Amino acid sequence: MIKKILITGIGGDIAQCVATILKKERSGIYLVGVDIHTQHGGTLFVDEFLTIPRADDASYLPSIRKIITEHEIDAVIPMTEPELGVLLPLIKDDQTVKWISAGYHVIEAGLDKLETINALLRFDIPAPWTRHVAHGALQFPCMIKSRFGSGSRGVFKVNSQEDADYFSSKYPEAIFQEYLEPEDAEVTCAVYRTKQNEVHTLLLLRRLTGGFTGWARVIEHEETTAMCAAIAINLDLRGSMNIQLRITAQGPRVFEINPRFSSTVMMRHQIGFDDVLWALDEAEGKAVSFPQIPYGATIVRTQGAVLLEK
């Protein structure tokens, strides 16, 4: 039985949503949260909070190992891409603790947007053209984005060669990617694969607010569902991942795979897609079952505030 869980990046919204779900649905669970500073509300969501070095610091891994040992942690939920990159060898081979993750191959492909597209093409899945900025853009408009990381920060629409030259000099490690239309057909796909290879997909047509999904509606699209299942199987998904795509006139085209729980994790939970709880159940050897989620169900993100000091 999992009693103590370490959640990294607890200063972020996704980790706080995961902690909220666990506290609500798992009585008796003890949560240890870590982050690199204290200027956030993460302490409000866990039983114990600790500061740790940045993931790119040489002391990061030893600090995580020490916390796991000294606090007798049963399971770890890594929540940020930089940490996933550093923790990848442990996720693959370390058996001293349960790692709640999407699995080695999803993480490896999802952390690198160029590798994401290359992986899709290896699986004979159509994908938008994607090139390192050093190789130039194939056409305009197109997008330029960081090769690594996630979210809308550092993502720009490029309308001309002049724009391309400017952004290439500013972001020499970025990628150019095909501009996918229409903008109002963007879908965030929650994908879960059980240990028995059963795949469950939730398609959410979304509108972004401040770079996050602010509004979402459950939709049905057989071609997209089949594509998500094919990606899950080919990448040997273990648990949950998130696929970002647009449904174009040529069919769904994936532009990003998030190898972790999504920022929509609480929105999903509200309508019954409980990937956090399913992952924990499977880590404990329990079977999971998927509910019927009605098409048309609509969810919105809300915000709040808490006074820490006066």
**Which is it for the CA torsion 191, 228, 87, 34, positive or negative?**
negative
Phi-psi region of 42 (alpha: psi -120 to 50; beta: other; left: phi over 0): alpha
- In the block, tokens 């999971």 appear at 288
pTM: 0.95
Tokens of 72: 């007798």
Note the pLDDT of residue 309.
86
Residue 300's contacts (CB-CB under 8 Å, 6 or more residues apart) are: 214, 215, 216, 267
Note the pLDDT of residue 151.
65
| Nearest CA among 216, 191, 193 for reference residue 201 | 191
**Average pLDDT of adjacent 10-residue blocks, the chain of 310 residues:** 97 97 96 97 97 98 97 97 95 93 96 96 98 96 90 84 95 96 97 97 94 94 98 98 98 96 95 97 96 95 90
User: Which residue type occupies 58?
Assistant: A
Distance CA 204, CA 268 (A): 9
Point out which residues pair with 158 in neighbouring strands. 142
199-233 pLDDT tens trace: 999 999 999 988 889 999 999 999 999 999 999 99
